[in-house]
Amino acid sequence: MIVVLKPGIRRDEIQRVVERIESFGLRAHLSEGEERTIIGAIGDERLLADQTLESFPGVEKVLPILKPYKLVSREFQPSNTVIQVNGRRIGDKKIHVMAGPCSVESQEQVLGAAIPVKEAGATFLRGGAYKPRTSPYSFQGLGPEGLDHLAHAREVTGLPIITEVLDPRDLDVVCKYTDVLQIGARNMQNFKLLTDVGKLDKPVMLKRGLSATIQEFLLSAEYIATEGNRRIILCERGIRTYETETRNTLDLSAVPVLKQLTHLPVFVDPSHGTGRWDLVAPMALAAVAAGADGLLIEVHPKPEVALSDGPQSLKPPKFAALMEQLKKLAVALGREV
């Protein structure tokens, strides 16, 4: 349930409400907004059924949270979450574009993508050092060497890094390099990884699973939030359907639905969502028009020789052209790129 507090409530009054909630074995999560402070009581709410929390000084009202996901729901926090990363505000007016190669293959290749995407206006560098692949014979990434290449590209361009973590045992080393952790579609329900990431003070992008419903997607985000990490970015990257013309079916209706249900920033990955480079630009534009807070786009200097996902990667000139289109669209929407 949600305990809505009155404006101007004192700290000691807040603490008394928190202690009362926790005395019943529930967890109390404080959310301080510009206009209201609320406390989320997470656990078996039946334990509080007969409690008159509204009689506590400074309590305005008590409301049930109807959704199965609590902390990430719009009911719990009406205002949008804005995540700060190296001076960049994700979830605000600016639309952020994270661009770079699917897999880190060499230092030359990473710089060949990082420098032009920075010049075109990208605000983050994406690249995979650890790659989950359907086939065990496919390129699995360079591991720590790939992280070194990403760190060097960050030094050259100033772009913060987003890269994927696959295993809780790799968290320490990945966290030393990356600015944003990525949990891929195949790990959306890796609950051990979700809870471990939830204990970190590090922004995390959670991708929707290949066949996940929106409720399942948000419950996975809830695993992270319940451990204390609220710096979560949701990413729609396409789901598996009967359609065979595209790699996945990019569910753009998920963007406005998620914006209604949750306060978290929402990104779209049109590269994995379609699997075709020629569809990336139109779907990226459609995603922004639908309300996305950012995009995750694969860019490779030579897609024809890429070790992974070459057919869906843009060459730098195509990416630059897309960025110009996005800037025009953003102006029409009252936003900026």
Q: Is the pLDDT of residue 118 over 90?
A: yes
CATH fold for domain 2-63: Alpha-Beta Plaits (3.30.70)
**Closest by alpha carbon to 296, among 326, 267, 322?**
267
Of 6-15, 42-51, 325-334, give the lowest mean pLDDT range.
Answer: 42-51
The residue assigned the tokens 């995979």 is: 128
CA torsion sign for 83, 89, 92, 97 is negative
**Closest by alpha carbon to 227, among 194, 189, 180?**
194
| Averaged pLDDT, 9-15 | 90
CA–CA dist 322, 136 (Å, integer): 34
Asked if the 83-332 domain carries CATH number 3.20.20.70, the reply is yes
CA–CA dist 120, 320 (Å, integer): 5
CA–CA dist 201, 218 (Å, integer): 20
DSSP codes joined into one string, 169-221: GGHHHHHHH-SEEEE-GGGTT-HHHHHHHHTSSS-EEEEPPTT--HHHHHHHH
**pLDDT-derived band of residue 134, with 50, 70 and 90 as boundaries?**
confident
Q: Is the pLDDT of residue 336 over 70?
A: yes
| Averaged pLDDT, 14-18 | 90
CA–CA dist 93, 136 (Å, integer): 41
**Closest by alpha carbon to 158, among 124, 126, 184?**
124
| Averaged pLDDT, 202-217 | 97
**pLDDT-derived band of residue 245, with 50, 70 and 90 as boundaries?**
very high
First to last CA, the chain: 38
Q: Is the pLDDT of residue 335 over 90?
A: yes
**Cβ–Cβ < 8 Å for 250, 286:** no
Q: pLDDT tens digits for 259-303?
A: 999 999 999 999 999 999 999 999 999 999 999 999 999 999 999
CA–CA dist 134, 125 (Å, integer): 24
**pLDDT-derived band of residue 49, with 50, 70 and 90 as boundaries?**
low
Question: DSSP label at 232?
Answer: E
**Residues of CATH 3.30.70.1140 domain(s) within the chain?**
2-63
Q: Is the pLDDT of residue 322 over 80?
A: yes
**Residues of CATH 3.20.20.70 domain(s) within the chain?**
83-332
Q: Looking at residue 51, what is its pLDDT?
A: 67
**pLDDT-derived band of residue 47, with 50, 70 and 90 as boundaries?**
low
| Averaged pLDDT, 302-308 | 94
**pLDDT-derived band of residue 116, with 50, 70 and 90 as boundaries?**
very high
Q: Is the pLDDT of residue 234 over 80?
A: yes
Chain-centroid distance of CA 218 in Å reads: 11
- What's the CA dihedral at 310, 316, 321, 324 to 10 degrees? 120
Q: For all residues of the chain together, what is the average pLDDT?
A: 93
> How, if at all, do strands 83-85 and 88-90 pair?
antiparallel
Q: Looking at residue 232, what is its pLDDT?
A: 98
Could you tell me which residues are beta bridge partners of residue 37? 32
| Averaged pLDDT, 125-134 | 89
Q: Looking at residue 94, what is its pLDDT?
A: 97
Q: Is the pLDDT of residue 30 over 80?
A: yes
Q: Is the pLDDT of residue 37 over 90?
A: no
Q: Looking at residue 132, what is its pLDDT?
A: 80
Q: Looking at residue 259, what is its pLDDT?
A: 98
